[in-house]
Amino acid sequence: MLKSLLIYITPFALSLALAGAIRAFGGAERGARTANVAVMISFLVSWGVFLKPGWFPTDDFSRIGHVAFGAMLVGLALDLLSPKRLLVAAAAAIVIVVSTWASVTGALTVSGQLTLGLAAIVAALSAVAFLIIARLDAARARGVTSLILIAMAALGLAFIARVADAPALATTGIMLALAVTGFAVLQSVIALPLGDSAILGGGTTVLALAWALAQTKPDVRIALVLIPLILFAEGTAQRVPLPEARISTFLYPLVLAGIAALPLGLAVLVAYVLVQG
């Protein structure tokens, strides 16, 4: 029981505390700009300690951590350097293509594996992944919107994994959702910009988790197609009338999460039917 509590408390508490420490010691400018790296550090530490995936990416599950770590490093570099958005997009595209290639082939090198069919699969998956990351990036200026969407997607994948009897993947999704939520809580109290390490790191980790789930439990692949529908939740949430008071700052995230939960609930239901059938 104690271990179960620690599994779920650690990523949330570590993200909250680490982000606050980076902001405090890093200063109002650089500290605030890089504090969001706490999201991925907290996830990776918790995931590595409690789930013990191993150091080497031998399967789709262990590759989740390597994808997350690589995306986090690139995102942190972008947060520190603050290049033009065109360069950010190029860096994100490289991370996505490399991560997709590693997920599909199980290796980083080409080593004679490249065929026209394989290239088409990698290109198609990379394009979809890039559009998802770009959508999350576009929403970063609107408070905690991107964080909520990442957390809800991770949570939806966790429930699908639970239905499909993939406990390690389910725990991975919950850990990521809690690490993101920890930073979101701090962001609601302290004005912290959302950087590339959280967007690129969190987004690619969700995609790596979805890939691992699709490969491990192919029965739920149709249900996974419904997960990206949460990207349309923001437009609906913005049309919900809220009081013209400070409480709207706290109500809007709840409304957005509630609307995002609708397609996720449908995805979990579809997964349950597919697994049971």
pLDDT score, position 1: 64
pLDDT one-digit tens code per residue, 145-202: 999 999 999 999 999 999 999 999 999 999 999 999 999 999 888 888 899 999 999 9
For residue 241, the SS3 value is coil
Tally Cβ neighbours within 10 Å of residue 46.
26
Tally DSSP H helices, then E strands, for the chain.
12, 0
pLDDT one-digit tens code per residue, 125-145: 999 999 999 999 998 877 789
pLDDT score, position 266: 97
The residue ranges of the chain whose pLDDT is under 70 are 1-3, 111-113, 245-248
Amino acid (1-letter code) at residue 206: V
At residue 206, φ and ψ (nearest 5 deg) are: -60, -45
